[in-house]
Chain A
Amino acid sequence: DTGVSQDPRHKITKRGQNVTFRCDPISEHNRLYWYRQTLGQGPEFLTYFQNEAQLEKSRLLSDRFSAERPKGSFSTLEIQRTEQGDSAMYLCASSYRGANSYEQYFGPGTRLTVT
């Protein structure tokens, strides 16, 4: 069990550029979640997948945000036309879909800075 990994760990981009983050969940986990965390706040849920199906995306912050999990393994989160307000830590988590299984395992996050 190597844990949830995220790449890159840090990203600095100029306003208006597109960015893409990658998350590799724990291998046997079929659920994958994306959260955003700003300074002094708890994580804020964005979207989640069960296998390759995106089951909830209404909480993506705007239509500039999109996520994919094409083969039910790794996932990507893309932000188009970045704005300074997008600067935050983007966290990925995974969990195993089983009876009474609610614990989520988080990756180290990708810290985005938009200049």
Chain B
Amino acid sequence: SQQGEEDPQALSIQEGENATMNCSYKTSINNLQWYRQNSGRGLVHLILIRSNEREKHSGRLRVTLDTSKKSSSLLITASRAADTASYFCATALYSGGGADGLTFGKGTHLIIQP
């Protein structure tokens, strides 16, 4: 079963706009990770946010975490064509932070229109 669920399932925006996608999960977590998958580079880790963090930045990425609502959001600013991909949130399958396996949502498919 999948713990994380991303929303929306699909998102299409113009290049240069910001893209926001959300993830909800069911159980307590040690951390939450975001991954990107496209045909060119496969599945790539983007950012990890720990349960005691509320916000984290990495380049054009901003991730927030609300453990009381069991939700996270990923914001991509100033989108580029190369950001076209599927984005997944992932949490630990078991206790231990995810070192013994991850569970992924179905993903948000992001399309950046030129």
Please, which residue of chain A has its CB at the minimum distance from the CB of B93? A45
Category for how many chain A residues contact B: 20 to 34
Q: Apart from A42-B4, A48-B100, A95-B99, what 6 extra A-B contacts exist at CB < 8 Å?
A: A41-B2, A41-B106, A43-B88, A56-B94, A91-B42, A102-B33
Chain B residues with CB under 8 Å of chain A are 2, 4, 30-31, 33, 35, 42-45, 48, 88, 90, 92-94, 97-107
**A55→B45 contact, CB < 8 A:** no
Complex interface: chain A residues within 8 A of B2 (CB)? 41-42, 44
Interface positions of A from 92 to 115, Cβ below 8 Å from B: 93, 95, 97, 100-109
Q: In the complex, how many angstroms separate the beta carbon of B43 from the nearest chain A beta carbon?
A: 4
CA distance in complex: A104, B93 (Å): 13
CA distance A77 to B4 in the complex (A): 26
Cβ–Cβ < 8 Å partners of B35 in chain A: 106
Whether A42 touches B105, Cβ cut-off 8 Å, given contacts A102-B31, A106-B42, A106-B44, is: yes
